[in-house]
Each structure stands twice: as C-alpha cells, then as structure tokens.
A and B are shown apart, each in its own frame.
Chain A
Amino acid sequence: AQKVTQAQTEISVVEKEDVTLDCVYETRDTTYYLFWYKQPPSGELVFLIRRNSFDEQNEISGRYSWNFQKSTSSFNFTITASQVVDSAVYFCALRLSNTGKLIFGQGTTLQVKP
C-alpha cells in the first residue's frame, strides 16, 4: 500500500528563520512521482514541485529547496529566510506512474510570525 506521512502537524517560526517540512513516503513501486503543494488562506492548492523517482538531484528555486532521498524514502522541503507570506498549509503527495491519483499526507501548517 502507498502512504505519505507528514509528522509535523504545525510549525511556528519567526520571520527570516529557515524551516524544514518533513515528508516520508511508502511504496513498493519503483516508478513514482512526488509533489509538494501549498494551500494559502485563499484555499486552493498551489503546485510547487514534482520529482520522479529516478531523479534524486536536489532542487532549489529561490528560497525553496527540496531534498529527495530514496534511501530514507523522504522528500523534505526547506524554506530559507522565511517570510510571513509563506504561512500556509503544505502538503506532500505521491503518485504512482500508472495512475493520476494523488496520495496526500496530512499536511503541515506553517505559521511565520513577523
């Protein structure tokens, strides 16, 4: 069975701090995709990144970076120098190669205080 676990329910940081959101996944498939979505107060889920299981290169996009490690089945997300606008619920998700269905974790609520 496939599963995504985001152990951190809520995180609170002060602006400019770095913060890492953890994501651990379970699957027996060798081909799969991992995602991060952001849900701001407006409600819609905003796509942040997609990685496939064959590409373990870390990725950096501005203040955002992602660390994918197959050895530990983890796909962690780091925000550097956090800002108040980063406050949102962040979801990690898994998709197998033969389906469009996304399997989500429980989400991590990030609060960045000024």
Chain B
Amino acid sequence: EAGVTQFPSHSVIEKGQTVTLRCDPISGHDNLYWYRRVMGKEIKFLLHFVKESKQDESGMPNNRFLAERTGGTYSTLKVQPAELEDSGVYFCASSQAVRGKQFFGPGTRLTVL
C-alpha cells in the first residue's frame, strides 16, 4: 500500500512568487493534515481536512496561504505571494479516523530567496 506522498520534494522560489505544494494521502483516509517546520523549530500544525471540508484551520499563518482538497482526495497548499519566513519543511499527514494514527509524508522543503 502506498504511503503519503508529497510533491515536489524541494522547491526554491523568489520572494513574491507563488508556489503550490501537493499531498496525496493514503487511499481511504478521510483526514488530512498540513504541518510546517521552520528552521530547527517545532513542527507546527497548519490545518486539518475531513474529506473536502476544513475541520480546523487555526494554524494557518495568514491569508497568503490557501489550502484546498477538492473531492476529498489529494490536497494542495498554495503560498501567494511567498515571503522569506515561509521557508521550511511542509509535512502532510493522513489518518483514517480523527483520533487515528497519523501517517506522514516525506515533506516538501520550501526555500524562499
């Protein structure tokens, strides 16, 4: 069974540009989470989807970040326009149930120059 996949693995963009990160959860997992780790700090929660609905988006830093999960399958996280402080590793995780074990993807390393 395929695990959580994320694309791209690494993205380097300039300040002001737009970047879209993609996450494909494990098939059948209704719950999808986005997290971010900035420069050696803790991994921080961004938001949680249940199917295509946003269950909790309390961790989204500002309105430059837009997450979608059309059809309740894969999810995208768009950053527009990107700022220097957005650099970090963005992780996606999925779980069958809300309280179930979360399986993480390998992350996307975003570098904003």
* A88-114 interface code vs B (CB 8 A; 1 in, 0 out): 000101010101111111110000000
Task: Kindly identify which residue among A9, A42, A46, A101 contacts B56, using a CB–CB cutoff of 8 Å.
Answer: A101
Q: Is the CB of B106 within 8 A of A44?
A: yes
In the assembled complex, the Cα of A43 lies from the Cα of B93 at a distance in Å of 13
Q: How many residues of B are counted as interface, with CB atoms below 8 angstroms from the partner's CB atoms? A: 31
**A102-B101 contact, Cβ under 8 Å, with A42-B106, A44-B3, A45-B91:** no
Report B-chain residues with C-beta under 8 Å of the C-beta of A95. 99
**A47-B44 contact, Cβ under 8 Å, with A100-B31, A100-B55, A101-B56:** no
- B95: interface (CB < 8 Å): yes
Task: Kindly identify which residue among B31, B41, B89 contacts A106, using a CB–CB cutoff of 8 Å.
Answer: B41
Q: Is the CB of B42 within 8 A of A47?
A: no
Q: Is the CB of A44 within 8 A of B59?
A: no
- A63: interface (CB < 8 Å): no
Q: Is the CB of A107 within 8 A of B42?
A: yes
- A16: interface (CB < 8 Å): no
- B65: interface (CB < 8 Å): no
Task: Kindly identify which residue among A37, A42, A44, A104 contacts B42, using a CB–CB cutoff of 8 Å.
Answer: A104
In the assembled complex, the Cα of A21 lies from the Cα of B44 at a distance in Å of 20
Report B-chain residues with C-beta under 8 Å of the C-beta of A99. 48, 56, 98
Q: Is the CB of A104 within 8 A of B48?
A: no
- A4: interface (CB < 8 Å): yes
Q: Which 5 A-B pairs have the closest CB atoms?
A: A45-B104, A43-B106, A104-B43, A44-B106, A100-B98
13 contacts between A and B (CB under 8 A): A43-B9, A44-B107, A45-B43, A99-B48, A100-B95, A101-B58, A102-B43, A102-B102, A104-B43, A105-B42, A106-B42, A107-B37, A107-B40
Measured CB to CB, the residues of A under 8 A from B are 4, 9, 33, 37, 42-47, 50, 91, 93, 95, 97, 99-107
